[in-house]
A and B are shown apart, each in its own frame.
Chain A
Amino acid sequence: MGQKPPKNYLVESILVTIFCCLPFGIAGIVFASQVNSKFALGDYEGAIASSKRAKKWMNWSIIAAVISVILSIVFVFALGGLAILGLSNQ
């Protein structure tokens, strides 16, 4: 076993599951397990392919996290704005 296993993104997937996007985190964990099992069987190319898939899910979850933060800020400002308009109309 001279080669090192490709990055499996397991820790990142756990953090994504806890902090942000459960489905993306679980997909990441499944691909992390593929990285580990394929590498253990000597399928280095397959392990790299699973590593790339896991990375793709991590990138999507970062995008989803940014979108949800933006949406929640917009939602609060929109509600706040409506409340101010409602008060000024009375």
Chain B
Amino acid sequence: MKLKHLGMLLGGILLAFLYFYINPSSVNFLPKCPLYVTTGIYCPGCGSQRATHELLHLNILGVFRQNALYVLGILILIYHLIIRILNSFFHKNSYNYIYHPKTPWILLIIILIFWILRNLPFYPFNLLAPH
């Protein structure tokens, strides 16, 4: 387990360096979304590589412009990590809403609505498409 976590940490640092120095908009060797390439439809994850680049440059507005769902994903990740750290290191017993029966369905509905809206080609929904 320890080795796996060390590997994940090293991989994360490597990816952070990669996406800090490479702007995904200006190179063509990064993997592309197969759905967008084949159909021209944006998926809920489109723009995430560019959003990572913006996030590493601390441009939060840029992250929103590329993929608004990315911001939600990061917030959920931070929330989950904070609860886990509180519970395991400080022996608290906080309730984690990740384990609430309704949470997965609410997130699924948000993802599906976001998916539909960002493909509508008119204002204001076209703001949700990656730029």
Contact = CB atoms under 8 A, between A and B. Distances in A.
Interface of A: 5, 8, 10-11, 14-15, 17-20, 22, 26, 29-30, 32-33, 36-37, 39-40, 68-69, 71-73, 76
Contact of A10 (B28, B67, B103, B111): B103
A14 B99 contact: no
Interface residues of B, number: 28
Contact of A40 (B44, B45, B77, B101): B101
Interface in B65-114: 67, 69-70, 73, 76-77, 80, 98-101, 103-105, 107-108, 111
Given A17-B44, A22-B44, A26-B111, A36 B100 contact: yes
Given A26-B108, A37-B101, A72-B31, A19 B76 contact: no
A17 B107 CA distance: 11
B14 to A, nearest CB: 12
B69 A18 contact: yes
B99 A20 contact: no
Contacts of B80: 11
Interface string B40-71: 00011100100000000000000000010110
Contacts of B123: none
Chain B residues touching A, majority SS:
helix
B9 interface: no
CB-CB nearest 10 A-B residue pairs: A33-B104, A72-B31, A76-B29, A36-B101, A37-B101, A32-B104, A18-B73, A11-B80, A18-B45, A68-B31
Interface of B: 28-32, 34-35, 43-45, 48, 67, 69-70, 73, 76-77, 80, 98-101, 103-105, 107-108, 111
B77 A72 contact: no
B34 to A, nearest CB: 7
Chain A residues touching B, majority SS:
helix
6 contacts: A18-B48, A18-B67, A22-B45, A29-B107, A33-B101, A76-B28
Contacts of B108: 26, 29-30, 33
A30 B104 contact: yes
